[in-house]
Amino acid sequence: MKKVYLTAQLPAADFLITTLSTQVDQEIINAVPELKLLANFGAGFNNIDTAYAASKKIPVTNTPKVSTNSVAEVTMGLILALSHRIVEGDRQMRQSGFPGWAPLYFLGHEITGKRLGIVGLGDIGSEIARKANGLGMKVSYYKPHQLSDPEERSLGASYQSFDELIKTSDYISINAPLTSENHHQFNEDVFKQMKETAALINIGRGPIVDEGALLAALKTREIAAAALDVYEHEPKFNPAFIGLKNVILTPHIGNATVEARDAMANIVADNVVLVSEGRSPKFVVNKE
């Protein structure tokens, strides 16, 4: 129904501003004969058939970099919330109250000295590394191409293979873009190799994690905890996660700050103006 409504509104449009929740396929693109620009309000663009848009000479733009700090802050917040059981403690207070202080009551863990493994060390992953260093964590990363020695030293991060990272990390943060190669990269086999005390934080893309396998790993305590800000079939998510105390669920709020969203809106608006003036937009992701 949403798609039918959308296509009915499009024929007279010159510019189409979309979000990650709007799927823009060939049918949508064909419904806009005079389309001059597809401006995605977000850093990701998996929701758009960029190749088809390129074949129609329609530039697709995104809003990179401006949400980097916000997403990195949320990632560190989730790590701290998991470690100190903050969300679980809030729930306890609201449901049954505070029974009184005791030496072993509601114990969590400090993150200082623990190893954070970052999967995907782009702008966001790099900022997470900087913030984690500031909190005394050891930082490792995996990406297809290792950084140079000066780059690693500037970030305080050491390279590990994916297999090494999942076995040695106390916390794993997923910050990679979704590709055909990393769909369900975190699966049953990976969870079996992770530490039983490890926590997984996914603030990258939902389909990188096999949520069914993650749910099983959390239920059996194969891994200790998880925090999810993105989901495999977003905005839908598996309701079975709700009953687990060792998982934090947030509604894709990584860049949900006034500062980040204002900056994203400015990029989108600037690109509309540029194209309307016959100039090239910034941050084109489907250049031929």
Q: State the catalytic residues.
A: 205, 234, 252
CA distance 114 to 208: 24
Q: Are 188 and 213 in contact (CB under 8 A)?
A: yes
Q: Are 244 and 218 in contact (CB under 8 A)?
A: yes
Q: Where are the beta strands (DSSP E) in the chain?
A: 15-18, 37-40, 60-61, 115-119, 138-142, 157-159, 171-174, 199-202, 225-228, 247-249
Rg (Cα) of the chain, in Å, rounded? 21
Q: CB burial class (10 A; 0-12, 13-18, 19+) of residue 187?
A: middle
Q: At what angle do helices 123-134 and 68-83 cross, to 10 degrees?
A: 50
Residue bearing tokens 């999810």: 228
